Amino acid sequence: MEMLPLVILLAVAFYLLKKGDQRQRIALLGSQLGHYQIEKLMESLTAGYLRALDEADPGRRDQIWQHLGTAETQLCQQFNQFSAEFSKLDGAGTRVSTLPLAIPYAARLFPRATFDLRKALAIHANGLTEAAGNPQQRTAKSRAFTLSAELFLMQHSCHWFCNSRTVASARLMARHQTTHAQVLAAVTPATRAAYLALTGI
């Protein structure tokens, strides 16, 4: 019984430290993303893909795909700019813990169990550009599927940086009804290989 106050005190301290670390990470990422409309374009594309796939009229469907092509180009341009700007940040603040749960300042305490978000964002920028450029000449449906996977994986990395891999995967399932493994299987082979090599998962 005498240990209970100490346990409670440690739990509160752990919680406050974790929240402080997460606030710093969210603020860092938000300060960089705030200059762009990446999230808005991503939401527009995701909704647009569903609208195009549900459209029964071929002519109307083609118009939607053409309109989405413009948004894809804008998104790729903005994300490449964002990645380039983020790459200039100090690497000490861009490490992502690969531990399953969020531990306060884990990236500093366990530097070997981390990867660099700057490198991850560069991988995502290349993946988005390749998927949008469509050098494999995929069908519009297949192209949208691959590009969506690239977007979801990028979003997962951002949530992973701000919280933990576990939280990021839970948000991916809640928002898009898909698992991290399914998304990783659907991105381009180049993205998948580079991502696995970087994260070590």
The residues, ordered by sequence, that sit 6+ positions from 23 with a Cβ below 8 Å of its Cβ are: none
Q: Taking 90 as the threshold, does the pLDDT of residue 57 lie above it? A: no
Arithmetic mean of pLDDT, 187-192: 96
Tell me what the mean pLDDT of segment 145-163 comes to: 95
The pLDDT of residue 14 is above 60: no
Q: What is the pLDDT of residue 4?
A: 66
Percentage of residues of the chain with pLDDT beyond 70: 90
Q: Does residue 17 surpass a pLDDT of 90?
A: no
What does the pLDDT average to over 72-97?
Answer: 94
Q: Which of 5-9, 61-65, 108-112 has the lowest mean pLDDT?
A: 5-9
Rounded to an integer, what distance in angstroms lies between the CA atom of residue 125 and that of residue 199? 16
pLDDT value at position 15?
A: 56
Question: What is the mean pLDDT of the segment spanning 10-19?
Answer: 60
What is the average pLDDT score of the chain? Answer: 88
pLDDT at 23 over 90: no
- Whether the Cβ atoms of residue 150 and residue 127 lie closer than 8 Å to each other: yes
| pLDDT over 80 at 81, yes or no | yes
Q: What is the band of 108 on the pLDDT scale with cuts at 50, 70, 90?
A: confident
pLDDT value for 5: 64
Number of domains in the chain: 1
pLDDT of residue 16: 58
Backbone angles phi, psi at 95, to 5 degrees: -80, 145
- What integer is the mean pLDDT of 1-9? 64
What is the predicted pLDDT for the residue at 6? 60
Which pLDDT belongs to residue 22? 79
Q: Which pLDDT does position 107 carry in this prediction?
A: 72
Residue 117 belongs to domain spanning: 4-199
Q: Which residue is associated with the tokens 């092509």?
A: 69
- Rounded distance between C-alpha atoms, residue 67 and residue 123, angstroms: 26
